[in-house]
Chain A
Amino acid sequence: GAGVSQSPRYKVAKRGQDVALRCDPISGHVSLFWYQQALGQGPEFLTYFQNEAQLDKSGLPSDRFFAERPEGSVSTLKIQRTQQEDSAVYLCASSLGGRGLLYEQYFGPGTRLTVT
């Protein structure tokens, strides 16, 4: 069956450019998470949506990072004025249940962002 998809798979941006990363979660999944994975590290939480509501954005590293999920399905992570330290793999995950429900998260293949 269809899993979580992300696009683009690879993105090279010049420092200062804006980028937009897309996530298509598994159909019907209520929860959507964004994580950032730096080279040689485990994923680190960025933000969480339950349907269209962004319930937790405490992991976003700066106000240059913005995420939305306007219709409760597709989500976009936007990074403004990219910096070299933004280079990482950005992972999207979706989960069937909302808060309080202990379903596992299913991850997409990630978008590898390189800022030059």
Chain B
Amino acid sequence: AQSVAQPEDQVNVAEGNPLTVKCTYSVSGNPYLFWYVQYPNRGLQFLLKYITGDNLVKGSYGFEAEFNKSQTSFHLKKPSALVSDSALYFCAVRDEDRGSTLGRLYFGRGTQLTVWP
């Protein structure tokens, strides 16, 4: 069964420090991985995705994520956090298209990131 785990409900970092938001996944086929960010009263905004190729993926707003197949992880990172990065972050996985899944995303529960000045 496909699933995503975000082990931390909250991550707190000081502005200017590096940040990491953790994600591990479980799929039966090849994983396609995504990170989304959600600001209050707004929909999910796409940050980046891993499909194949280079394990380090770069996305919007200076975020990047590292795919690690052996650890089944896809952690989100940023070298220097900004106060404006404070939001709710969701990791999602999509399995290879099969008759029963057809591109649906499986989301983690989300991690609230707070960056203090």
Contacts and interface: CB of A to CB of B under 8 A. Distances in A.
Contacts of B92: 42
B102 A91 contact: no
B107 A43 contact: yes
A33 B105 CA distance: 9
State which size class the interface on B falls in.
20 to 34
Contacts of B90: 42-43
B44 A43 contact: yes
A56 B97 CA distance: 12
Given A42-B109, A43-B107, A59-B104, A107 B44 contact: yes
A48 B104 CA distance: 8
Given A42-B90, A58-B100, A109-B41, A104 B107 contact: no
B92 to A, nearest CB: 8
Nearest to A108: B43
A31 interface: yes
Given A42-B90, A42-B107, A99-B102, A104 B97 contact: no
Nearest to B108: A42
Interface stretch (B11-19, B45-53, B69-77, B78-86): B45-53
A109 B42 contact: yes
B103 A91 contact: no
Given A55-B102, A58-B100, A102-B51, A109 B43 contact: yes
Contacts of B41: 109
Contacts of B49: 102, 104
10 contacts: A31-B103, A42-B90, A43-B90, A44-B107, A48-B104, A59-B104, A91-B44, A99-B102, A107-B45, A108-B43
Interface of B: 4, 32, 34, 36, 41-46, 49, 51, 90, 92, 94, 97, 100-110
Interface of A: 4, 31, 33, 35, 40-45, 48, 50, 55-56, 58-59, 91, 93, 95, 99-100, 102, 104-110
